[in-house]
Amino acid sequence: MAQTISSPTVDTTKVLDVELKNIVKTFGDETAVQGLNLQIQQGEFFGILGPSGCGKTTTLRMIAGFENPTSGELTIQGQSMNGVPAHRRSVNTVFQSYALFNHMSVWDNVAFGLKVKKIPKTDLRQRVGEALTLVQMESFAKRYPTQLSGGQKQRVALARALVNRPAVMLLDEPLGALDLKLRKQMQVELTNLHQRLGITFIMVTHDQEEALSLSNRIAVMKDGQIEQVGSPKEIYEHPNTAFVADFIGDTNLLSGHIQQHPGTLTLASGLQIEIAPTQLNDGNPADISIRPEKIQLFAQAQTTPPGHQANQHQGEVKHTLYTGPHIHCIIELATGEQLRVLQPNHIRYQPGDKVYVSWAATDCQVLGSPSPP
């Protein structure tokens, strides 16, 4: 069931930069965000992650002031923003499309907001120079956006936002238009930039790896509500729901009923999987999540599996997918279940090979309520 409470990992001793209290946003008969509660600390890199249409961009637009909540309260640095227009908020937004003015030079693009605010020329020149230096674009000041690469345009967009010295930087799918290699490079640069500046970054993305690698904490959204808030490790290693487990990286979801003695999940096929202790009672339906990298493959049954792993089952390799550093294998168990297994690329199995899968009871994350049929 979706959670609408703030994360238990938030440090209440720290200053909150952004807080959303019971935020609801509707567009006609459609509810885009419902009952949203978030607390974002000063200096955090906070990721809002979810599939298309989950309400994450609407949430960012409400923080920016481009949309107004239908109900609830939104505060920035302790001040209510209800009814406060975007230009009077101490926030700036960097868009996926960069939104640069092609008829203006890089320098003029960065200076534009300061000119609108009628900042004195001496101060303006200093601030533009500092912002361009910060993103390593000072040598491109006279160029135009059409003369820049995608990564360079993104740096200019960052400089244009930073030159206004916002308290909160909003990033709307900031790396979505870049190719894979450049995206990886910009992830490192964004992290370094955030650490140097020490201001709050709030990023909306549908890219799980991007959210995990950049964020201090992540809110996973579904259907306008928050499913879970936590650190990247908490979200990945200890998902609360089947949706979070399945959305964040690859996983194997299995449904069954709990048997506390000896501590198993019994599937409809009769397969019994040993699990770690759980608060659920005997007979309760439950899902478990097993990450593909937690499962080991062996050509023969192991009398003493590594780490004394409790679960060992025979199966057959159905498919393999070579991805460079890893090989993804689909293993079909004798009882009919299929498992995704991640193997190092030096271990080669072929479709049709008989194998044994093995994993520890502690690698089974019990999720509680079962997945919908």
The pTM score is: 0.86
CATH number at residue 40: 3.40.50.300
Amino acid 13: pLDDT: 53
Kind plus residue range of the DSSP H or E element containing 233: helix 232-237
Q: Compute the average pLDDT of residues 17-29.
A: 95
Q: Are strands 311-322 and 354-359 parallel, antiparallel or unpaired?
A: antiparallel
pLDDT digits (tens, 9 = 90+) for 339-358: 999 988 887 889 999 999 99
Q: Is-contact 159 180, C-beta < 8 A?
A: no
Residues 25 and 69 in one domain: yes
Whole-angstrom distance, CA of residue 277 vs CA of residue 361: 9
* Last residue of one domain, picked from the residues 195, 220, 246: 246
Residues 228 and 88 in one domain: yes
Cβ-based burial of 82 (10 A; exposed 0-12, middle 13-18, buried ≥19): exposed
pLDDT digits (tens, 9 = 90+) for 168-223: 999 998 887 777 787 888 888 889 889 988 899 999 998 898 899 999 999 999 99
Tell me the Cα Rg of the chain.
24
The one-character DSSP state at 3 is B
Per-position DSSP letters for 33-99, written without gaps between them: EEEEEEEEETT-EEEEE--TTSSHHHHHHHHHTSS--SEEEEEETTEE-TT--GGGSSEEEEETT--
Whole-angstrom distance, CA of residue 360 vs CA of residue 163: 52
- Domain assignment present for residue 163? The answer is yes
Residues 191 and 91 in one domain: yes
- Domain assignment present for residue 11? The answer is no
Q: Compute the average pLDDT of residues 241-255.
A: 93
Domain count, the chain: 2
Residues 223 and 285 in one domain: no
Least confident piece of the model among 70-74, 138-142, 162-166, 248-252: 162-166
Determine what percent of the chain is predicted with pLDDT higher than 70.
93
Residues 257 and 242 in one domain: no
Going by C-alpha positions, the residue among 221, 233, 238 that lies closest to residue 288 is: 238
- Domain assignment present for residue 111? The answer is yes
Cα 365 to the center of its chain, rounded Å? 19
**What tokens does 343 get?**
């193997």
Residues 79 and 179 in one domain: yes
Amino acid 306: pLDDT: 63
Whole-angstrom distance, CA of residue 275 vs CA of residue 5: 28
The rounded mean pLDDT for the chain is 88
Residues 114 and 257 in one domain: no
Q: What phi and psi values does residue 184 have, to the nearest 5 degrees? A: -60, -45
Amino acid 305: pLDDT: 61
Residues 211 and 269 in one domain: no
Reported residue count of the chain is: 373
Determine what percent of the chain is predicted with pLDDT higher than 90.
59
Residue type, 240: N
The contacts of residue 175 (CB under 8 Å, 6+ apart) are: 96, 154, 183, 186, 187, 190, 205, 207, 210
Going by C-alpha positions, the residue among 304, 267, 303, 307 that lies closest to residue 288 is: 267
* Last residue of one domain, picked from the residues 226, 246, 266: 246
Least confident piece of the model among 203-217, 294-308, 317-331: 294-308
- Domain assignment present for residue 355? The answer is yes
User: Mean pLDDT: which of 76-85, 171-180, 276-285 is highest?
Assistant: 76-85
pLDDT digits (tens, 9 = 90+) for 85-141: 998 999 988 887 778 899 999 999 999 988 888 889 899 999 999 889 888 888 999
Whether residue 5 is predicted with pLDDT greater than 60 in this model: the reply is no
Residues 237 and 90 in one domain: yes
**What tokens does 224 get?**
């306008």
Whether residue 322 is predicted with pLDDT greater than 50 in this model: the reply is yes
Whether residue 14 is predicted with pLDDT greater than 70 in this model: the reply is no
Helix (H, G, I), strand (E, B) or coil at 133: helix
The residue among 222 and 278 whose pLDDT is bigger is 222
- Domain assignment present for residue 328? The answer is yes
Residues 178 and 306 in one domain: no
Amino acid 358: pLDDT: 92
Residues 133 and 192 in one domain: yes
CA atoms within 13 A on the CB side of 295: 27
User: Residue 20: which domain range?
Assistant: 16-246
Residues 41 and 83 in one domain: yes
* Last residue of one domain, picked from the residues 246, 276, 310: 246
Whole-angstrom distance, CA of residue 92 vs CA of residue 111: 14
Cα-Cα-Cα-Cα torsion 109, 113, 119, 125, nearest 10 degrees, comes to -20
The one-character DSSP state at 301 is -
The counts of H helices and E strands in the chain are 8, 20
- Domain assignment present for residue 1? The answer is no
CATH number at residue 291: 2.40.50.100
- Domain assignment present for residue 5? The answer is no
Whole-angstrom distance, CA of residue 194 vs CA of residue 212: 15
- Domain assignment present for residue 275? The answer is yes
Q: Is-contact 284 265, C-beta < 8 A?
A: no
